[in-house]
Amino acid sequence: MTAPESRLQAAPTKPFNLATQSRHLVRHWLACGALLLSIAPSAFAWGDGGHRIVAKIADHYLTSSTRAAVNAMLANDSTGLTSTDMASEASWADRYRNKHPETANWHFVDTEISDGDIDAACFGHPPLPLNAPASAGPATACVVDKVDQFTKELAAPQTTDAERLLALQFLLHFVGDLHQPLHASDSSDRGGNDKMVSAPGIAPGKLHSYWDTAFVKQLGSDTNTVASQLIDNINSGQVASWQTQTPRDWSLEAFDIAKQDVYGKLPAPNSSGTFALPDDYVFTAQQDVALQLSRAGVRLAMVLNGAGLQMPGSTSPPGDGVLVWVNTKSGVYHCPGSPYYGNTKHGVYMYEDQAKAGSYRPAGGKACSA
């Protein structure tokens, strides 16, 4: 039976026991705590491990042609900030920000819990300067707007190869950032960085760091295994539902989790001002994190598949025609009206010519287009 959407989680490698899981947390994430404050209030989301999981999930849902184009594009990254595989490049924007602090605000949208005003959190949505690429946009821009801008740029035929690579690198990271609840909310506490928390078996730290890294590590120590487990728990109905929404919707969705669970379930602070998180808070957080990583991976794949990416230097047109449902496990695609359309456990929507280019076969051997 598939886990309910609101409580999707990776299947642990051993029978799940919260107390046991907590005692085995890897604690090296604490070393990053001081660095968080030196850069930006909400600088990091998920940590490298979480971003790798998002990228691994996305890779599962990519068409073969999109995957080939993405890998070829990333091979041209000469910055040396990360390795050039997709999972490593998902953390490229964090490394880039260290030398380009003008991009720091692009990683979050601090919608205040008290008013839910996402437009204010997005600095009023400043437009890009005339003829300016998205990578040269204003410093006062939020992650919602940057995902929109880079998504359009990734698909635009007139985008240069160099700018298209930047758009890809930022999107690999920002789609993940947008799903971290504390990158979509604020409670006058710098995205949770001003709240000290503790939990059974976990060293005390900042609330933001717990959601960035500690709760992610509870899903498992190996990112490949965690990604595979999450993929196994994603059903076709979730994929179809998640792919109909916009980056603004994704942000408000993460905001709701922050309001209900991150902040809403916080206990009162103790006499030292620390919030001692009970087991049920930690368990809920683990479920929320699993769900958000899964959503981020599916949506990142949607963004990349929808861009009609070509190999660098190619002048071929992007996808067009009938939108089909591709069963990525069987290699067969289904036409609108088929009982399997949108209803297989593993699959993505794409245009029929993209499916054919990706070596997918029409169900029953009959193409959807006339």
The domain containing residue 361 runs over which residues? 323-365
Q: Specify the pLDDT at position 92.
A: 98
Flag whether 9 is in a domain. Answer: no
Nearest to 333, CA basis, from 357, 361, 353: 361
> CA-to-CA distance for 44 and 183, rounded, in angstroms?
8
In which residue are the tokens 């920000």 written? 97
**Does residue 261 contact residue 211 with C-beta atoms inside 8 Å?**
no
Flag whether 4 is in a domain. Answer: no
Q: What is the pLDDT of residues 196-253, one digit of tens each?
A: 999 998 999 999 999 999 999 999 999 999 999 999 999 999 999 998 889 999 999 9
* Mean pLDDT rounded to a whole number for the chain: 86
Asked whether residue 309 falls in the same domain as residue 333, the answer is: no
Q: Specify the pLDDT at position 1.
A: 34
Q: Specify the pLDDT at position 6.
A: 39
Asked whether residue 347 falls in the same domain as residue 295, the answer is: no
Helix (H) or strand (E) holding 309: none
Q: pTM score > 0.85 for this model?
A: no
Number of domains in the chain: 2
Share of the chain above pLDDT 70, in %: 84
> CA-to-CA distance for 301 and 312, rounded, in angstroms?
19
Among 297, 315, 333, residue at a domain's last position: 315
> CA-to-CA distance for 287 and 127, rounded, in angstroms?
36
Report the CATH number that the domain containing residue 259 is assigned in CATH.
Answer: 1.10.575.10
Q: Which is more confident, 317 or 168?
A: 168
Confidence of residue 29 (pLDDT cuts 50, 70, 90): very low
Flag whether 189 is in a domain. Answer: yes
Asked whether residue 121 falls in the same domain as residue 215, the answer is: yes
Confidence of residue 43 (pLDDT cuts 50, 70, 90): very low
∠ CA 92-97-103, nearest 5°, is 115
Q: Is it the case that residue 320 has pLDDT exceeding 80?
A: no
Q: What is the pLDDT of residues 328-363, one digit of tens each?
A: 889 899 998 899 987 777 767 677 887 887 788 999
Asked whether residue 70 falls in the same domain as residue 102, the answer is: yes
Asked whether residue 236 falls in the same domain as residue 266, the answer is: yes
Asked whether residue 339 falls in the same domain as residue 292, the answer is: no
Q: Is it the case that residue 66 has pLDDT exceeding 60?
A: yes
Q: Specify the pLDDT at position 369.
A: 83
161-177 and 64-74 are packed helices; what angle lies between their axes, rounded to 10 degrees?
110
Flag whether 329 is in a domain. Answer: yes
Q: Specify the pLDDT at position 347.
A: 67
Alpha-carbon Rg for the chain, nearest whole angstrom, is 20
Flag whether 7 is in a domain. Answer: no
Q: Is it the case that residue 173 has pLDDT exceeding 80?
A: yes
Residue 176 carries which side chain, given as an amino acid letter? G
DSSP letter (8 states) at residue 273: S
Flag whether 10 is in a domain. Answer: no
**Does residue 271 contact residue 196 with C-beta atoms inside 8 Å?**
no
Asked whether residue 138 falls in the same domain as residue 157, the answer is: yes
Flag whether 5 is in a domain. Answer: no
Q: Is it the case that residue 3 has pLDDT exceeding 60?
A: no
Asked whether residue 132 falls in the same domain as residue 224, the answer is: yes
User: Around Cβ 13, how many Cβ atoms within 10 Å?
Assistant: 12
Written as six digits, the tokens of 167 are 């758009």
Among 283, 299, 315, residue at a domain's last position: 315
Flag whether 293 is in a domain. Answer: yes
- For residue 325, the cross-strand partners are 334, 349
Q: What is the pLDDT of residues 178-196, one digit of tens each?
A: 999 999 999 999 999 999 9
Q: What is the pLDDT of residues 140-170, one digit of tens each?
A: 999 999 999 999 999 988 899 999 999 999 9
Asked whether residue 181 falls in the same domain as residue 307, the answer is: yes
Q: Is it the case that residue 289 has pLDDT exceeding 50?
A: yes
User: By three-state DSSP, how is residue 264 classified?
Assistant: coil
> CA-to-CA distance for 245 and 299, rounded, in angstroms?
9
Asked whether residue 77 falls in the same domain as residue 35, the answer is: yes
Left (φ > 0), alpha (ψ -120 to 50) or beta: where does 47 sit? Answer: left
Asked whether residue 158 falls in the same domain as residue 123, the answer is: yes
Q: Kindly write down the DSSP assignment for every residue of 10-58, as one continuous string.
A: PPPSS---HHHHHHT---GGGGGHHHHHHH-TT--SSHHHHHHHHHHHH
Least confident of 61-65, 304-308, 319-323, 334-338: 319-323
Asked whether residue 305 falls in the same domain as residue 335, the answer is: no
